[in-house]
């Protein structure tokens, strides 16, 4: 059974690899959050993450632990989150999936006070990894990201 | 699902994934590969060596994410992977001023892969990022970070340059 699965998988890979040389995905997913302060967006984002069956892990400034805490930047906030079952599955398929782990959103406040929600598109990273076994999981992760972003922005 | 079947399928996916990963790298597609450095050591010594190597090049470890223990304590398989994030204040300031979207890459990630008596470190794929962020401001930053990472991994490995 193991051999058969391997053969089928390799066949699938060799079939697909010829047609996956160019990236179709955009690198960055972004939503503007009109009417939100950074703190409001932060709260709404963590709620949405939880609503979509992910666990909030931590948040930090972009320069956390690089400068004294009182001098940390206040305009950029990084939010890490995770679904442990999905993480295990992805790492079992390809350890390079660690390049998109843990899941992350970044909230950025512009000079005019407007707030944006930004993420690296996991499906874009996956295209670079070029592993057809991993890609469906990354597409699903992208859908989850977009659903979370939509919940916050709509 | 019967546990034996589940274990077999998981093992098959793991093996196939590893093979596909190797094949993807060896086929030399347009995508590049992450930098990798490996040596025979134990995890504690590897952490010390990584911290030292990062400091030698002006970087600080800002976070350790023990993915292995996070998963095992929840009853999942041990992936033998830990994540490290390293940074330096100048890199953050430069990215904020010149190429804000590249903030998504900071702090820089290093994946530590634990294998028996060997510990490998793997970076993100800077060349892949450069293919998409090729503007005047982004490209030099990505090249600088890649050069820093290459130096840190070479320092860790204690030899010439990390493999790619």
> What residues contact residue A149 under an 8 Å CB cut-off, 6+ apart?
A29, A31, A105, A117, A119
Domain with A122, as residue range(s), is 30-153
| Chain A, nearest residue to B61 by Cα | A65
> How close does chain B come to A56, measured CA to CA in Å?
13
Q: What is the domain count for chain A?
A: 1
Q: What is the sign, positive or negative, of the torsion defined by CA atoms of B134, B135, B138, B144? A: positive
Q: Is residue A24 part of a domain?
A: no
Find chain A residues with C-beta within 8 A of B130's C-beta: none
pLDDT in tens, B13-53: 554 545 444 444 443 333 457 899 999 999 999 999 999 99
- Domain with residue A44: its CATH number is 3.30.310.70
CA distance B48 to chain A (A): 18
Residue A56 lies in a domain: yes
Is residue A18 domain-resident? no
Distance between A94 CA and the closest CA of chain B, angstroms: 5
ipTM of model: 0.84
Q: Is residue A137 part of a domain?
A: yes
Residues of A in contact with B30 (CB under 8 A): 21-22
Query: What is the DSSP track for chain B?
Result: --HHHHHHHHHHHHHHHHHHHHHHHHTT-SS----EEEEE--HHHHHHHHHHHHHHTT-EEEEEE-HHHHHHTTT-----EEEEEEE-HHHHHHHHHH-GGGGGG-SEEEEEEEETTEEEEEE--HHHHHHH--STTHHHHHHHHHHHHHHHHHHHHTSS--B-
Mind listing the pLDDT tens digit for each residue in A64-80?
Answer: 999 999 999 999 999 99
Q: Spell out which residues of chain A touch residue B2, defining contact as CB-CB under 8 Å.
A: none
Instruction: Give domain status of residue A54, yes or no.
Output: yes
> pLDDT (tens digit, 9 = 90+) per residue, B101-150?
999 999 999 999 999 999 999 999 999 999 999 999 999 999 999 999 99
Residues B86/B108, Cβ–Cβ less than 8 Å:
yes
Number of A–B residue contacts, CB under 8 Å: 154
pTM of this prediction? Answer: 0.83
């Amino acid at each position: 059974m193991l051999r058969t699965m391997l053969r089928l998988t390799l066949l699938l890979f060799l079939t697909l690899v010829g047609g996956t040389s160019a990236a179709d995905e955009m690198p960055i997913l972004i939503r503007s959050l009109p009417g939100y302060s950074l703190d409001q967006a932060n709260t709404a984002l963590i709620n949405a993450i939880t609503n979509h069956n992910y666990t909030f892990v931590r948040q930090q400034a972009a320069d956390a632990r690089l400068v004294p805490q009182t001098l940390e930047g206040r305009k950029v906030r990084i939010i890490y989150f995770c679904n442990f079952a999905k993480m295990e599955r992805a790492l079992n398929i390809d350890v390079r999936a660690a390049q998109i782990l843990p899941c992350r959103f970044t909230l950025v406040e512009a000079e005019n006070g407007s707030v944006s929600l930004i993420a690296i598109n996991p499906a874009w990273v996956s295209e670079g990894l070029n592993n057809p076994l991993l890609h469906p999981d990354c597409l699903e992760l992208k859908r989850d990201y977009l659903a979370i972003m939509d919940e916050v922005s709509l | 699902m019967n546990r034996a079947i589940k274990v077999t399928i998981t093992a098959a996916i793991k093996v196939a994934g590893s093979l596909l990963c190797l094949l993807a790298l060896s086929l030399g597609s347009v995508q590049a590969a992450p930098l990798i450095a490996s040596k025979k050591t134990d995890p504690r010594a590897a952490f010390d060596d990584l911290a030292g190597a990062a400091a030698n090049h002006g970087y600080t470890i800002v976070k350790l994410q023990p993915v292995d223990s996070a998963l095992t304590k929840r009853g999942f398989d041990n992936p033998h992977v830990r994540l490290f994030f390293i940074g330096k204040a100048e890199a953050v300031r430069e990215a904020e001023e010149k190429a804000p979207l590249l903030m998504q890459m900071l702090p820089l990630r290093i994946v530590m892969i634990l294998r028996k008596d060997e510990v490998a470190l793997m970076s993100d794929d800077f060349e892949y990022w450069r293919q998409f962020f090729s503007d005047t401001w982004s490209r030099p930053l990505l090249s600088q970070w890649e050069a820093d990472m290459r130096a840190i991994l070479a320092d860790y490995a204690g030899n010439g340059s990390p493999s790619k």
